Amino acid sequence: MRVVIIGAGQVGESIAADLQHDHDVVVVENRDERADELTYALDVLTVSGDGTELSTLEDAGAADADMVLATTDDDETNIVACSTAKALSGSAFTIARIKNTKYLRTWERDEGAFGIDFMVCTNLLTAESIVRVVGLPAARDADVFANGRVQMAEFEVSEGSPIADQTVQEADRFDSLTFAAILRNGDVEIPSGDTCIKTGDRVVVIGSPRSVQQFARTLAPEVSPEKSAEVVVIGGSEIGYHVCRLLEERGLSPRLVEQDPDRARKLAEDLPETLVMESDATDMGFLEREHIGDADILVSTLDSDEKNLLECLLAERLGVERTVAVIDRTSYVDLFETVGVDVGLSPREVVAEEITRFTQSGSAENIAFIETDKAEVLEIELDDSSPLVGRTIRDAVGDLPEGVVIGAITRNKEFIVPRGDTELHPGDHVVVFVDAAVLDEAMETL
Amino acid sequence: MGRWPDRSSKGRSRIRVRWRASLGLLGSILKWLAVPLAFPLLLAVLYQEPVLPFAVTMAITLALGEGLERLPEDEEIRGREAYLLVALAWLAVAVIGAIPFLLAGNGVLAQPVDALFESMSGVTTTGATVLDDFSVHGRAILMWRQVLQWLGGLGILVLAISVLSQLSVGGAQLMETETQTQDVTKLSPRITETARMMWGLYGGITALCAVSLYALSVVGVAPNMDAYNAIAHAMTAVATAGFSPSPDSVGAFAPVAQWLVVPFMFVGATNFVLIYYFVRGDWGRPLRNEEFRYYVGIVAGTTVLMTLLLVTDPGVTFPAEATVRHAVFQVVSILTTTGFATVDFNTWSPAARHLLFALMFLGGMAGSTTCSIKLLRWVIVAKSLRRDLFTAVHPEAIRPVRLGDRVVDEETIRDVYAYTLLSLLIFFALTVFIVVDGTRSGVTVSEFEAMAAAASTFLNIGPAFGFAGPYGSYGPFSNATKSAMILLMWVGRIEIIPVLVVATPAYWRS
């Protein structure tokens, strides 16, 4: 597949790096030096020039491209670039990275508006991920499939956790929940009934949202994620704004701390249920006066990774139950989580996940990444020609390489618990966990 | 070099207001005043009363209007000119409105100060009267009082905008100057069209009120509510104004007629934009409006309170229905700044009278025919006070004041505080003036009566207590007091600011 990526910023580079092995990637970049840099760093072709200019896109071969990704930092540039690419080749699938949700709203009204086939809103996606994590106590990562009927979540088993030192069979007290994997010391392990869960493990579960919620509650009974949760959001960036907005939609009244007076005022006007405070969030006097330490969850969405780290560490010190940090540099995520941040989320990773959905070959509809690249959770709709159709799960799993777990099935919009003798039908949506090591092999079968 | 030293070398300060433009438009407005004068003129012919007062006034207003129209070279109205025009228009209509009273020359209205008081009280929809003996006045003259109130009800400038094509550009500015409370909500892209819709609605509600009142006499339940009375009361009920051709106000009519007037006073003090959407079929619109919910709540709450006060008052012995009726009627009448009465509430207990006095300061909704401080301002004051209490505990918190789903900006809040404070200051000043002048001129007036009379005139309600009560008259006050009241009825009706602005020296200079 020929892919043209416009903009060699962090996101563009990261996507180019993901795609370089399997696809022909052309990167358009208007800074010559940056373009040169990329030529050496990655196995891609770079074209220097303005991605909104017809001649540049022609040089990049956008006319024959299967997919055009506009990933610059500027919304308008991305929109114009996609429109231009569409004018050049009507058949190319165009994806634009957008920050401002107003364009997303327009696009949602008429999908295909601006000549864009898919719009990825960085800030909104990141906020949605944060809210999912906030909604599940102790969860490190969470994603939904099959229109919200199936949920995947990753939990860390802390010391004293009720499931620590239990076997999977003992821990699995919920009928519509599947233990898909255990991540131990960075390795992916597919558990069987008598696998023992240890402190420090991370478990990946797939199931109905209710059962995942219940599971989360048994893991952390002291934190009630429901309406009473006290959430503090630090930093009134777009991400911070959307986190508060989404929490408001779920009936919560978060507190939001923003330093800039004008921005704080604007946020206070736009968020009726949120208590906006104008202060430097590292001011200990302020944090103590407002009893930030009593909060259940603190989400730090400041503009620099270091500030977010500092904020989360301060919050932990004051007694906040869980801290969530937005981390721009994907490479910092692990480090920050080791130091003490409970959950680190990288907007770039979130965007890359979303965009990679469309570059996946085959019929994958939805995808989530476990620990950036250790494993993936995919949603697949079975068609008549699928080799899995008509077989029981026990047989189907036998065909698949080791490292693949069928986590959940939805049939006619109903959740079905996958058992060994469940037969797969055409039209079923299957949510599978796939170890990255066997991904290519598995994708061929699926 | 040296162009502008030349200019200043003229050596006299220039007036920066294009007052000629304001006066020119005032001329056009005065010419149109001849149209409503035709109504009492026709009645005078019908009842075989003197037609001269109205015919002469028509001639005066036409001539004066024609003369003023010739003044300006440039007709455009901007911010400054709007203030002047608003202030002058209300004053001029009141002055011309007094001419028929003087020319008819019956009773107290032969006195210039009394005639102007009556006329100003009419145009400003106050409803305070100096008449003691109603019987000496012709029916046409009494109807002219009602017509004046109806004209003033929705605002003279709104009316002017709907008929004067030259106001299509400056009109929005004028409407905003006339009603200080809120930005103009344009119901249609054209301001002239918006003003016409408002007046259409106003006229329609008035007609509905008149027809329903008249229907009561047709079916025989309120025999004395003839066509004349139905029209007269409809005009001043919807205008929340309060003049009545009958000395006993609405109390002269059957209970069912009294009940019927209540909803029309209530509607008159409801925001006309809400009524517009309601009439257009958006029935839930008023209930979604926060100010309206407060309005309904306050009316209901104070009615219950008033009923309780009347029930527990041993001096008041009404039957059950009458107790509720008098409580509802008086509460709605005073709160909407109408000033009708069904009973002489002078005889009620001090608690009941003080409740009515307190209601004078509320007023109905902004954007209606009501006067006084208006609920919108009180809601904003209350909410921002509550916000201030919250931020005292959480100094970093930012809490915008919300009204429904809209945010009230801080500048507006400051304006509202200033307006409310200014209203109360003027009220106190007028109270002191009435008391001091009463001592000087030998008019016995208690402090409470002085306060009530001050509030009732400045806030454009009408009746007060004591001799200025609902069945009484402002006649006994000295001419000095009445003049002060005339001034402040005018100032209060156009929401203080235009008059004060025009009175500042800075307004006239650059």
DSSP codes, A203-234: EEEEE-HHHHHHHHHHH-TT---STT--EEEE
Asked if the Cβ–Cβ distance from B396 to A272 is below 8 Å, we say: no
Write out chain A residues lying below 8 Å of B394, CB-based: 275, 277, 290
A272 interface with B at CB cutoff 8 Å: yes
Distance from CA of B417 to the nearest CA of A (A): 21
Same domain, A83 and A183: no
Distance from CA of B358 to the nearest CA of A (A): 33
Helix (H), strand (E), coil (C) string for B301-336: HHHHHHHHHHHHCCCCCCCHHHHHHHHHHHHHHHHC
Write out chain B residues lying below 8 Å of A286, CB-based: 396
Rounded Cα–Cα distance for residues A120 and A70 (Å): 10
Distance from CA of A440 to the nearest CA of B (A): 53
Write out chain A residues lying below 8 Å of B397, CB-based: 275-278
Q: Is the pLDDT of residue A227 over 70?
A: no
Report the pLDDT value the prediction gives residue A202, as an integer from 0 to 100: 84
Rounded Cα–Cα distance for residues B286 and B255 (Å): 28
Asked if the Cβ–Cβ distance from A269 to B400 is below 8 Å, we say: yes
Which of B508, B474, B502 has the alpha carbon at shortest distance from B490? B502
Distance from CA of A266 to the nearest CA of B (A): 9
Q: Which of A368-377, B359-368, B480-489 has the lowest mean pLDDT?
A: A368-377
Is A226 within a domain? Answer: no
Is A225 within a domain? Answer: no
Same domain, A81 and A158: no
Q: Which of A211-225, A228-242, B426-440 has the lowest mean pLDDT?
A: A211-225
Q: Looking at A116, A142, A159, which one is the last position of a domain?
A: A116
B contact test, residue of A275, A282, A283 with most B CBs within 10 A: A275
Q: How confident is the model at residue B102 (pLDDT cuts 50, 70, 90)?
A: very high
Report the pLDDT value the prediction gives residue A276, as an integer from 0 to 100: 95
Is A152 within a domain? Answer: yes
Instruction: Supply A238's token pair.
Output: 């777009």
Q: Is the pLDDT of residue B481 over 50?
A: yes
- What pTM was estimated for this model as a whole? 0.80
Report the pLDDT value the prediction gives residue B11, as an integer from 0 to 100: 43
Q: Is the pLDDT of residue B375 over 80?
A: yes
Of residues A269, A272, A277, nearest to B397 (C-beta): A277
Nearest residue in chain B measured CA to CA from A275: B397
Q: Is the pLDDT of residue A310 over 70?
A: yes
Of residues B398, B405, B407, nearest to A276 (C-beta): B398
Same domain, A255 and A187: no
Distance from CA of B303 to the nearest CA of A (A): 33
CB B80 within 8 A of CB B16: yes
Q: Is the pLDDT of residue A419 over 90?
A: no
Asked if the Cβ–Cβ distance from A272 to B405 is below 8 Å, we say: yes
Rounded Cα–Cα distance for residues A133 and A156 (Å): 12
Task: List, for residues B24-80, the tens digit of each pLDDT value.
Answer: 889 989 999 999 999 999 999 999 999 999 999 999 999 999 999 888 766 677 778
Instruction: Supply A222's token pair.
Output: 């002291």
Same domain, A292 and A260: yes
**φ, ψ dihedrals at B7, nearest 5°:** -65, -45
What is the domain partition of chain B in residue ranges?
390-508
Rounded Cα–Cα distance for residues A310 and B156 (Å): 64
Asked if the Cβ–Cβ distance from A268 to B399 is below 8 Å, we say: yes
Q: Which of A292-301, A381-390, B357-366 has the lowest mean pLDDT?
A: A381-390
Nearest residue in chain B measured CA to CA from A285: B396
Q: Count up the domains in chain A and report the number.
A: 4
Is A257 within a domain? Answer: yes
Report CA dihedral (A246, A249, A251, A257) to the nearest 10 degrees: 40
Same domain, A40 and A104: yes
A contact test, residue of B387, B390, B391, B396 with most A CBs within 10 A: B396
Is A224 within a domain? Answer: no
Same domain, A361 and A341: no
Same domain, A392 and A423: yes
Asked if the Cβ–Cβ distance from A277 to B394 is below 8 Å, we say: yes
Q: Looking at A219, A248, A268, which one is the last position of a domain?
A: A219
Q: How confident is the model at residue A358 (pLDDT cuts 50, 70, 90)?
A: low
Report the pLDDT value the prediction gives residue A226, as an integer from 0 to 100: 54
Give chain B's contact residues with A (Cβ, < 8 Å).
394, 396-400, 402, 405, 407
Distance from CA of B389 to the nearest CA of A (A): 15
Report the pLDDT value the prediction gives residue B303, as an integer from 0 to 100: 96
How many inter-chain contacts (A to B, CB under 8 Å) are there? Answer: 29
Q: Is the pLDDT of residue B376 over 70?
A: yes
CB B464 within 8 A of CB B46: no
Distance from CA of B415 to the nearest CA of A (A): 19
A394 interface with B at CB cutoff 8 Å: no
Asked if the Cβ–Cβ distance from A278 to B407 is below 8 Å, we say: no
**φ, ψ dihedrals at B450, nearest 5°:** -65, -45
Of residues B396, B405, B407, nearest to A279 (C-beta): B396
Distance from CA of B59 to the nearest CA of A (A): 56
Is A418 within a domain? Answer: yes
Q: Give, to the nearest 10 degrees, the angle between helix B290-312 and helix B320-335.
A: 140
CATH (domain of A105)? 3.40.50.720
Report the pLDDT value the prediction gives residue A220, as an integer from 0 to 100: 66
Distance from CA of A286 to the nearest CA of B (A): 8
Residue B413 CA: distances (Å) to CA of B181, B403, B408: 11, 12, 7
Beta bridge partners of B397: A277
Same domain, A326 and A355: no
Of residues B394, B398, B405, nearest to A290 (C-beta): B394
A275 interface with B at CB cutoff 8 Å: yes
Write out chain A residues lying below 8 Å of B405, CB-based: 272
A278 interface with B at CB cutoff 8 Å: yes
* Averaged pLDDT for residues A70-95: 89
Distance from CA of B418 to the nearest CA of A (A): 23
Nearest residue in chain A measured CA to CA from B399: A268
Write out chain A residues lying below 8 Å of B398, CB-based: 264-265, 267-268, 276-278
Q: Which of A80-84, A111-115, B41-45, B137-141 has the lowest mean pLDDT?
A: A111-115
Nearest residue in chain B measured CA to CA from A270: B407
Asked if the Cβ–Cβ distance from A264 to B398 is below 8 Å, we say: yes
Counting residues of chain B whose pLDDT is more than 90, the rounded percentage is: 62
Rounded Cα–Cα distance for residues A179 and A190 (Å): 9
Q: Is the pLDDT of residue B321 over 60?
A: yes
Q: Is the pLDDT of residue A252 over 60?
A: yes
Write out chain B residues lying below 8 Å of A269, CB-based: 400, 407
Asked if the Cβ–Cβ distance from A275 to B405 is below 8 Å, we say: no
**Residue pointed to by tokens 């249609």:** B188
Same domain, A264 and A322: yes
Same domain, A358 and A296: no
More confident residue, A139 or B120: B120
Average pLDDT over chain B reads 89
Distance from CA of A278 to the nearest CA of B (A): 5
* Averaged pLDDT for residues B309-313: 90
Q: Is the pLDDT of residue B392 over 60?
A: yes
Report the pLDDT value the prediction gives residue A394, as an integer from 0 to 100: 82
Same domain, A105 and A79: yes
Task: List, for residues B160-205, the tens digit of each pLDDT value.
Answer: 777 776 666 666 777 776 665 555 566 777 778 888 888 899 999 9
Asked if the Cβ–Cβ distance from A277 to B396 is below 8 Å, we say: yes
A276 interface with B at CB cutoff 8 Å: yes
Q: Is the pLDDT of residue B10 over 70?
A: no
Nearest residue in chain A measured CA to CA from B390: A275
A259 interface with B at CB cutoff 8 Å: no
CATH (domain of A372)? 3.30.70.1450
Nearest residue in chain A measured CA to CA from B408: A269
Of residues A272, A278, A286, nearest to B398 (C-beta): A278
Local structure of residue A7 (DSSP, 8 states): -
Rounded Cα–Cα distance for residues A409 and A379 (Å): 9
Asked if the Cβ–Cβ distance from B394 to A272 is below 8 Å, we say: no
A248 interface with B at CB cutoff 8 Å: no
Residue-number span of the structural domain to which A134 is assigned: 126-219
Asked if the Cβ–Cβ distance from B400 to A268 is below 8 Å, we say: yes
Asked if the Cβ–Cβ distance from B402 to A272 is below 8 Å, we say: yes
The phi-psi region of residue A427 (left if phi > 0; otherwise alpha if psi is between -120 and 50; otherwise beta) is: left
Q: Is B165 exposed, middle or buried (0-12, 13-18, 19+ CB in 10 A)?
A: exposed
Write out chain B residues lying below 8 Å of A267, CB-based: 398
Write out chain B residues lying below 8 Å of A268, CB-based: 398-400
Same domain, A332 and A366: no
